[in-house]
């Protein structure tokens, strides 16, 4: 019933959706030059041969998708092509930097039946992989109708989402039946999907654990290290609103004991730079932006890394990293700490890391992360890490050991996907 109502409403929603997209263009949330992709109109020809379609909502899911693409490329000896769809400009920029030659990016069409049909008619994927948790009724219905093998990978579901979907369980079950298999991050997620009517649900752990170290330019790294010299430095990574001002507070206090301290802020969304500069202005610290392309001055307090795709560079240049969206004004949720651990950082996070709870619990058990209960605790622990080299080295070692111990997740995922490739006679290489 609900699915029928949704389809009827969406069928007549084109004017409202177009209006919404125009507003998003004005707000800088959509790429005006590629807006036709949102209407299902492709901006590139379909590659010949086998095409694997991977849908990832935003940056976090895109990073997991890259791990999958790189491994499948290795298994298939690049004898296939990849189409990756995402919904944000930031994720599109990330894909432009990191996709291999046999992969291309398109913005996902909005879930209007005609736009979905145009998209599917053009691309005709052989197999579809959806990352984590995004479910769109019209698109999933089109996948099922065309008998495209499909898997939900790295699947997760919050308590709130589970409660909401449980109210429309029949509709949820119908959508989940599109997936031949659902590969979950944890047993709790497995139980949620099973309760909602999913089938062939397997726990494979979090695909992001299998990430390779984030790439960075060695020449830029050498230059950055030479500019920092022997200054104590820490990175606040993937920050959200509220965390940049926290970084300023922490810096101002720590500077009393560590006068040469350098704080590097790497915002999750670099386009927030003006907002960040405005919010940090009252702290009267010297702030330097990376986009200014100037060497880091000796008296720079805050280095705002307002570029995209350089997080690996800043992890590699520091041995202390605080993972963002754990103190943010939006209630937090956390981001992936594995990337920092792989690049030899002592890892810290704030109290609000609920979307990464299982991961941080495991890391805490292995003494591989410091979980600061509040702002004062964060300050105390950063101070301790800067002051105590033995403690810092121990945390770096523990974090890296933990990260490396989780590297096998991708093999488990690929093993569970093998039946889908066999279904379409794809030349799978185990």
User: Mean pLDDT per segment of 10 residues, for the chain of length 430 residues?
Assistant: 74 91 94 97 96 92 92 86 95 92 96 96 97 90 96 93 92 94 94 96 92 92 96 98 98 97 97 97 98 96 96 97 96 93 98 91 96 97 98 98 92 94 77
Asked if 44 contacts 123 with a C-beta cutoff of 8 angstroms, the reply is no
Q: Return the pLDDT at 25.
A: 95
User: Which residues make up the CATH 3.40.50.2000 domain(s) of the chain?
Assistant: 218-405
State the pLDDT at residue 266: 98
- pLDDT at residue 383, rounded to an integer: 98
Write phi, then psi, for 167 (nearest 5 degrees).
-70, -25
The confidence score (pLDDT) of residue 208 equals 85
Q: How far apart are CA 346 and CA 337, in angstroms?
A: 10
- Interatomic CA distance for residues 272 and 270, integer angstroms: 5
Residue owning tokens 């299902």: 40
Predicted local confidence at residue 60, as pLDDT: 83
Q: How many angstroms separate the Cα of 137 from the Cα of each of 41, 122, 178?
A: 19, 19, 10
Going by C-beta distance under 8 Å and a sequence separation of 6 or more, which residues neighbour residue 418?
A: 428, 430
Strand residues in 10-68 grouped as ranges (E)? 51-55
Q: Are 417 and 151 in contact (CB under 8 A)?
A: yes
Percent of residues in the chain assigned helix, strand, coil, to nearest 5: 50, 15, 35
Could you give the CA distance from residue 380 to residue 371 in angstroms, rounded to a whole number? 12
138 CB-near residues (< 8 Å, 6+ apart): 7, 10, 111, 112, 113, 116
Per-residue confidence (pLDDT) for residue 1, from 0 to 100: 60
97 C-beta neighbours (distance < 10 Å), count:
10
Query: Residue 257 CB: number of other CB atoms within 10 A?
Result: 11
What is the reported pTM? 0.78
Q: Which CATH code is given to the segment(s) 218-405?
A: 3.40.50.2000
Residue carrying structure tokens 């720079």: 300
Domain with CATH 3.40.50.11720 in the chain: 9-206+408-423
Residue 430: the pLDDT is: 59
Scanning the structure block, which residue is given the tokens 């089109």?
142
Within 13 Å, how many C-alpha atoms sit on residue 253's CB side?
A: 14
Placement of tokens 């920050």 in the chain: 239
- Tokens matching residue 112: 């209007």
Tokens of 174: 């119908």
The answer for residues whose C-beta is within 8 angstroms of residue 407's C-beta and 6 or more apart is 209, 210
Active site residues: 61
pLDDT score of 365? 96
311: nearest Cα among 90, 70, 154: 90
Q: Which of 294, 299, 346 is nearest to 318 (CA)?
A: 346
Question: What letter would DSSP give residue 176?
Answer: H
- Which CATH number does 9-206+408-423 carry? 3.40.50.11720
Query: What residues form DSSP beta bridges with 128?
Result: 53, 150
Helix (H) or strand (E) holding 215: none
Structure tokens given for 256? 């009393």
Kindly calculate the radius of gyration of the chain based on its CA atoms and give it in whole angstroms: 22
Only one residue has tokens 């940056």, namely: 59
Determine the Cα–Cα distance for residues 248 and 379; give it in Å rounded to an integer.
11
Nearest to 322 by CA among 378, 396, 240, 397: 378
């Amino acid at each position: 019933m609900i699915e029928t109502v949704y389809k009827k409403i969406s069928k007549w929603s084109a004017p409202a959706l177009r209006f919404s997209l125009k507003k998003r263009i004005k707000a800088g949330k959509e790429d005006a030059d590629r807006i036709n992709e949102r209407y299902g109109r492709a901006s590139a020809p379909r590659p010949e041969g086998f095409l694997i379609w991977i849908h990832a909502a935003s940056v976090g899911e895109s990073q997991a998708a890259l791990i999958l693409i790189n491994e499948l490329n290795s298994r298939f000896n690049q004898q296939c092509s990849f189409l990756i769809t995402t919904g944000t400009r930031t994720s599109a920029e990330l894909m432009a930097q990191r996709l291999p030659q046999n992969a291309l990016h398109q913005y996902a069409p909005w879930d209007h039946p005609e736009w979905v049909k145009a998209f599917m008619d053009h691309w005709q994927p052989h197999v579809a992989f959806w990352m984590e948790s995004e479910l769109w009724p019209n698109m999933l219905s089109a996948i099922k109708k065309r008998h495209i093998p499909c898997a939900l990978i790295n699947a997760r579901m919050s308590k709130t989402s589970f409660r909401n979907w449980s109210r429309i369980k029949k509709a949820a079950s119908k959508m989940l039946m599109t997936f031949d298999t659902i590969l979950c991050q944890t047993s709790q997620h497995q139980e949620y999907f099973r309760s909602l009517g999913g089938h062939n649900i397997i726990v494979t752990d979090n695909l992001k654990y299998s990430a390779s170290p984030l790439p960075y330019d060695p020449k830029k790294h050498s230059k950055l290290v030479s500019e920092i010299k022997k200054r104590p430095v820490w990175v606040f990574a993937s920050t959200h609103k509220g965390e940049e001002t926290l970084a300023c507070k922490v810096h101002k206090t720590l500077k009393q004991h560590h006068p040469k301290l350098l704080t590097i802020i790497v915002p999750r969304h670099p386009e927030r730079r003006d907002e960040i500069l405005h919010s940090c202005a009252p702290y009267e610290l010297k702030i330097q932006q990376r986009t200014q392309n100037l060497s880091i001055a000796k008296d720079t307090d805050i280095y705002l890394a307002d570029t995209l795709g350089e997080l690996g560079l800043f992890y590699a240049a520091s041995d202390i990293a605080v993972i963002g969206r754990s103190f943010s004004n939006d209630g937090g949720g956390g981001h992936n700490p594995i990337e920092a651990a792989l690049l030899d950082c002592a890892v810290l996070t704030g109290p609000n890391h609920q979307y990464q709870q299982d991961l941080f619990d495991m890391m805490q058990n292995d003494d591989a992360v410091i979980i600061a209960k509040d702002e004062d605790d964060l300050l105390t622990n950063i101070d301790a890490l800067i002051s105590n080299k033995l403690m810092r080295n121990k945390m770096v070692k523990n974090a890296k050991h933990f990260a490396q111990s989780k590297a096998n997740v991708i093999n488990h995922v690929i093993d569970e996907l093998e039946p889908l490739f066999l279904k379409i006679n794809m030349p799978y290489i185990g």
